[in-house]
Amino acid sequence: MNMEHYPILAIISLFLGAFLVALFGRLNKVLRNLIVAAAVTIPLCLMIALIAPVMIGGQVIGYWMGNWAPVGPWAIGIGLEVDALSLFFGLVVTIAVFVSGLYSFTYMNRDDSLENYYTLFLMLSGSLLGLVLTGDLFNIFVMIEIMTMTAVALTAFRVDYEGALEGALKYMVVGSIGSTSVLVGIAMLYSQLHTLNMAQIAAALPDHQNLVTVGAFAFLFLGFSTKAFLFPFHPLAADAHAVAPASISLMISGVITKCGVYGIIRLAYILYQNINEPAVSILITGFGAVSCFICVTMAFNQHDFKRLLAFHSISQVGYVITAVGLGTALGLSAGLYHAMNHTLFKGLLFLCAGAVQYATGSLDLGRLGGLAKKMPKTCALFLIGAASISGLPPFNGFFSKWMIYQASFEKGLDTGNFFYIVVCVVCLLSSVLTLASFVKVAQSVFFGQLQPQFENTKEVPLTMRIPMWILAVLCILTGVLPWEVLQKLVGPAAAAALNAAGYIQGMLGSGAAAGAGAQAAFSMEIGFWGPVSWLCLLLIVSCAVCLVAVLGTAEQKSPEERHEMDRRAGRTAAFTRDGFADAGRILKPAEKEGHYRNPVLSGTTLTFTGEKDPKYENFFSGEESEYSQVGGGDLFWGFKTNWRHYFQGMRRWHSGVINDYTRYGIVALAFVLLYACLFL
């Protein structure tokens, strides 16, 4: 089959799957799951098949629906256009869809009317894929609307879940500002250029800059940033993510936000090609940096696992937008890399949250605790995700964040604008705050004390862990092999975004790209970081340390011997603390069941009576080990007291009232419009 049919087949298989599930899903559970599995697997395979020609071969696949080929320079029909940038996001979408679908099979099995769930889920997936693959501006609007509608319906899918309806309503109402802006922007562009094909718009726009197109830019930018939940739309994301089922949270945070990012990249890099204008760059970077910082601090106030993750999600999208706004090759690559990484690690974290919810029925950070003993595998997965999002080497978050710092700092130095230095510092600081916040999550969910009511918690089934492992392995792979990822995936995508001429030619044939900028020189110079050699180094040192440790223990006398020496010296074992401890060692069988109190020394034999020695349960509680109310209280007390005014203001600001959020949206719209009219 010809390669050019792949994109449309990928989209169709998802939509077709949705209709088939709606038709037959009610009849048979197995049939329904088979349809869903097929519908989520086929697009993934098709996208992977496209990597070779598009990413490596540099081909641009154009496809005219119904074979309505352009007449002269005029694109009549609706076209799909897959360049490396589209394919990059297409891959991100299909991976997330695949994982989410796989996870849903077990995770959702306690809910009813699942055929509705899968119908909506597949429609959502299809619209997302359509959004990134299409070459038509109005198609983007339609896909955005389908996406919003299905996402809202899925957010409210668990109708009885606390806040589900409210979160969905806010998402819909405030999100409609974004949809309206996109449509207004499209209408304004159409009035000037009389076409909806993005390639044609890109070819014509540089010669047609006037107040209307500038206004259209403002509207479209605001519309896409609503869909990416950028500041000041982030409260929506928090509400919607927190109440949606975890598999849908993955979609909202991992993919829907990415579609907003995709829109902004297409808008600024391909359509307007004005990313190198300082005003545009500062606008986008500024929005990104503010989202990044405000959301990460908002996460400190949260008590709901998924709500906290939601704020982090927007914070990470803020990173992406910051990097995208820089407009340099390095910045764009950093943004794309981080976008992909964010989908992977945030998906993993949401799935972990879903697993916790599945196992315990709770997401309250204040009530959970000590689950590491009950769910060790989920805990390990969570730690991988947390390390990735905090940017600890060698996980993937580190490399992309590092590129972002480098890119923003260099941009600052190149342009001599201190703004970018501030952005760089804000990004670095947000990274620390992210880490701090995830320490809190780890402490209050997986470590700390186990609450009595979760005594019977069980590990989630393997079918839920497999999707999580897929994401975890991808997190590690993209972190350990950053240069390969950069070369094969991110680099071509960034090059495609910087090459508007290539995009236009791919759709309309050569010669159409007269007005567009020539291909930008694409080079990257980043610092040194070889995760693989670092891991080797780590291995060598650990071997050495282990060797020393083993040799050291071999030379030590065994506790029995030491006790024997003590005895010979006439010391009683219970006399000193070590003696006591050593005495505990002697009773091997007792050690297995824990240690016992009341050592009695009669002659030379040491016997223990009484119940378990609480000393071995908790070092400092001299009494019987019981649940302690000392929970460390607020984990960030010292930090928050100094910032109390800020946090109080933030709490007042995130009031939860729809009208307030709408007002913020309108203010943002007005601001962006004014900014665009004044500076562009």
Partner 1 sequence: MQILIQLFHILVFPGLLFDVAMGVLLMGLNNKLVARMQNRVGPPILQPWYDFLKCCGKETIIPARAKRAVFLGSPYLGFVLLISVSMFIPFAGFIPVTMGSDLVVILYLLTFVSVCEILGAASSGSPFAGVGLSREMVAMISYELPFVLVILTVARAVGADQPSGAVFSLEGILAYQEMNGPLLFSPAAIPAAIAMLFVIPCETGMHPFDIAEAETEICEGMLAEYSGTPLAMYRLTHMVKVYTMSSLFVAMFLGNRFTGIVPVDILIGILLCIAVMFISAALPHAVCARLKVEQVFHFYWTVVTGFALAGLLLVWAGV
Partner 2 sequence: MILVNYAASFFLIALGLYCMAVKKNLIKILIGMGLCDYGTNLLVVSVGFNPGGTAPIFTAGEIHPGMFFVDPVPQALTLTSIVIGACTTAMVLGLIIRIKAKYGTLDSTEIRRLRG
> Which residues lie across from 612 on neighbouring strands?
596
Instruction: Determine if 113 is a binding residue for partner 2 (CB under 8 A).
Output: no
Instruction: Determine if 372 is a binding residue for partner 1 (CB under 8 A).
Output: yes
Distances (CA, A) of 657 to 173, 235, 649, 663: 11, 10, 15, 10
Instruction: Determine if 20 is a binding residue for partner 2 (CB under 8 A).
Output: no
- Closest of 252, 36, 234 to residue 128, by C-alpha: 252
Please say whether the dihedral angle defined by the alpha carbons of residues 563, 568, 572 and 576, taken in this order, is positive or negative.
Answer: negative
Q: Which one of 276, 487, 533, 659 is in contact with partner 2 (CB under 8 A)? A: 659
Backbone angles phi, psi at 134, to 5 degrees: -75, 160
Instruction: Determine if 593 is a binding residue for partner 1 (CB under 8 A).
Output: no
**Residue partners of 39: CB distance under 8 A and separation at least 6:** 13, 14, 16, 17, 18, 20, 21, 101, 122, 125
**Binding segment for partner 2 among 43-51, 108-116, 405-413, 649-657 (CB under 8 A)?**
649-657
Q: Which one of 52, 545, 600, 667 is in contact with partner 1 (CB under 8 A)? A: 545
**Nearest distance from C-beta of residue 119 to partner 1, angstroms:** 42
Q: Which one of 69, 537, 565, 670 is in contact with partner 1 (CB under 8 A)? A: 537
Using CB under 8 A as the binding rule, the residues of this chain from 516 to 535 that contact partner 2 are none
Distances (CA, A) of 342 to 188, 252, 315, 399, 489: 33, 12, 10, 12, 15
Q: Which partner, partner 1, partner 2, none, binds residue 589 by CB below 5 to 8 Å per kind? A: none
Instruction: Determine if 610 is a binding residue for partner 1 (CB under 8 A).
Output: no
Q: Which one of 8, 9, 428, 658 is in contact with partner 1 (CB under 8 A)? A: 428
Give the integer Cα–Cα distance in Å for 264 and 262.
5
Query: Would you say 311 and 650 are in contact if contact means Cβ atoms under 8 Å apart?
Result: no
Please say whether the dihedral angle defined by the alpha carbons of residues 393, 289, 151 and 459, taken in this order, is positive or negative.
Answer: positive
Instruction: Determine if 452 is a binding residue for partner 1 (CB under 8 A).
Output: no
Q: Which one of 9, 22, 51, 169 is in contact with partner 2 (CB under 8 A)? A: 169
Q: Which partner, partner 1, partner 2, none, binds residue 605 by CB below 5 to 8 Å per kind? A: none
**Residue partners of 676: CB distance under 8 A and separation at least 6:** 214, 215, 217, 218, 221, 283
Please say whether the dihedral angle defined by the alpha carbons of residues 83, 88, 89 and 90, taken in this order, is positive or negative.
Answer: positive
Q: Which one of 49, 173, 429, 590 is in contact with partner 2 (CB under 8 A)? A: 173
Q: Which partner, partner 2, partner 1, none, binds residue 677 by CB below 5 to 8 Å per kind? A: none
Q: Which one of 43, 46, 170, 495 is in contact with partner 2 (CB under 8 A)? A: 170
**Nearest distance from C-beta of residue 252 to partner 1, angstroms:** 28
Using CB under 8 A as the binding rule, the residues of this chain from 542 to 561 that contact partner 2 are none
Please say whether the dihedral angle defined by the alpha carbons of residues 655, 235, 249 and 123, taken in this order, is positive or negative.
Answer: positive
CB burial readout 587-626, b (16+ within 10 A) else e: beebeeeebbeebeeeeeebebeeebbbbeeeeeeeeeee
Instruction: Determine if 560 is a binding residue for partner 1 (CB under 8 A).
Output: no
Pairing, β 605-608 against β 79-82: unpaired
**Residue partners of 490: CB distance under 8 A and separation at least 6:** 88, 333, 336, 337, 340
**Nearest distance from C-beta of residue 280 to partner 2, angstroms:** 24
Q: Exposed, middle or buried by CB within 10 Å (0-12, 13-18, 19+), for 31?
A: middle
Instruction: Determine if 590 is a binding residue for partner 2 (CB under 8 A).
Output: no
Considering CB under 8 A, how many residues would be counted as binding partner 2?
47
Which one-letter DSSP state was computed for residue 233?
Answer: S
Give the integer Cα–Cα distance in Å for 413 and 409.
6
Q: What string marks each residue from 209 to 248 as x (binds partner 2 by CB under 8 A) or -? A: -----------------------------xx--xx-----
Q: What string marks each residue from 569 to 588 as x (binds partner 2 by CB under 8 A) or -? A: --------------------
Q: Between 169 and 392, name the residue whose CB sits nearer to partner 1.
A: 392
Q: Which one of 303, 373, 458, 571 is in contact with partner 1 (CB under 8 A)? A: 373
Using CB under 8 A as the binding rule, the residues of this chain from 377 to 406 that contact partner 1 are 379, 383, 387, 390-393, 398, 402, 405-406
Give the integer Cα–Cα distance in Å for 675 and 680.
8
Q: Between 194 and 557, name the residue whose CB sits nearer to partner 2.
A: 194
**Nearest distance from C-beta of residue 230 to partner 1, angstroms:** 24
**Nearest distance from C-beta of residue 301 to partner 2, angstroms:** 6
**Nearest distance from C-beta of residue 526 to partner 2, angstroms:** 39
Instruction: Determine if 172 is a binding residue for partner 2 (CB under 8 A).
Output: yes
Q: For the beta carbon of residue 248, count every other beta carbon within 10 angstroms.
A: 29
Q: Which one of 533, 576, 607, 659 is in contact with partner 1 (CB under 8 A)? A: 533
Give the integer Cα–Cα distance in Å for 34 and 56.
33
Please say whether the dihedral angle defined by the alpha carbons of residues 573, 579, 581 and 587, taken in this order, is positive or negative.
Answer: negative
**Nearest distance from C-beta of residue 612 to partner 1, angstroms:** 8
Q: For the beta carbon of residue 318, count every other beta carbon within 10 angstroms.
A: 29
Instruction: Determine if 65 is a binding residue for partner 2 (CB under 8 A).
Output: no
Using CB under 8 A as the binding rule, the residues of this chain from 291 to 350 that contact partner 2 are 301-302, 307
Instruction: Determine if 481 is a binding residue for partner 1 (CB under 8 A).
Output: no
Please say whether the dihedral angle defined by the alpha carbons of residues 270, 274, 278 and 279, taken in this order, is positive or negative.
Answer: negative
Q: Which partner, partner 1, partner 2, none, binds residue 593 by CB below 5 to 8 Å per kind? A: none
Instruction: Determine if 18 is a binding residue for partner 2 (CB under 8 A).
Output: no
Q: What does the block give as tokens for 397?
A: 């978050």
Q: Which one of 9, 658, 671, 675 is in contact with partner 2 (CB under 8 A)? A: 658
Instruction: Determine if 196 is a binding residue for partner 2 (CB under 8 A).
Output: yes
- Please give the angle made by the CA atoms of 410, 436 and 365, to the nearest 5 degrees: 140
> 602: part of which helix (H) or strand (E)?
strand 599-602
**Binding segment for partner 1 among 82-90, 153-161, 430-438, 463-471 (CB under 8 A)?**
430-438
Instruction: Determine if 585 is a binding residue for partner 1 (CB under 8 A).
Output: yes
Residue indicated by tokens 């500076």: 679
Q: Which partner, partner 1, partner 2, none, binds residue 147 by CB below 5 to 8 Å per kind? A: none
Q: Which partner, partner 1, partner 2, none, binds residue 628 by CB below 5 to 8 Å per kind? A: partner 1
Q: Which one of 68, 74, 575, 637 is in contact with partner 1 (CB under 8 A)? A: 637
Q: Exposed, middle or buried by CB within 10 Å (0-12, 13-18, 19+), for 544?
A: exposed
Query: Would you say 219 and 188 are in contact if contact means Cβ atoms under 8 Å apart?
Result: yes
- Closest of 191, 195, 189, 198 to residue 216, by C-alpha: 189
Query: Would you say 150 and 65 are in contact if contact means Cβ atoms under 8 Å apart?
Result: no
Instruction: Determine if 163 is a binding residue for partner 2 (CB under 8 A).
Output: yes
Q: Which one of 1, 159, 418, 589 is in contact with partner 1 (CB under 8 A)? A: 418
Using CB under 8 A as the binding rule, the residues of this chain from 509 to 528 that contact partner 1 are 525, 527-528
Give the amino acid at 80. Answer: L
Q: What string marks each residue from 136 to 155 as x (binds partner 2 by CB under 8 A) or -? A: --x---x--x---x--xx--
CB burial readout 447-470, b (16+ within 10 A) else e: bbbbbeebeebebbeeebbebbbb
Q: Between 273 and 406, name the residue whose CB sits nearer to partner 1.
A: 406
**Binding residues for partner 2 (CB under 8 A):** 138, 142, 145, 149, 152-153, 156, 159, 162-163, 165-170, 172-173, 176-177, 180, 183-184, 186-188, 190-191, 194, 196, 238-239, 242-243, 301-302, 307, 651, 654-659, 662-663, 666
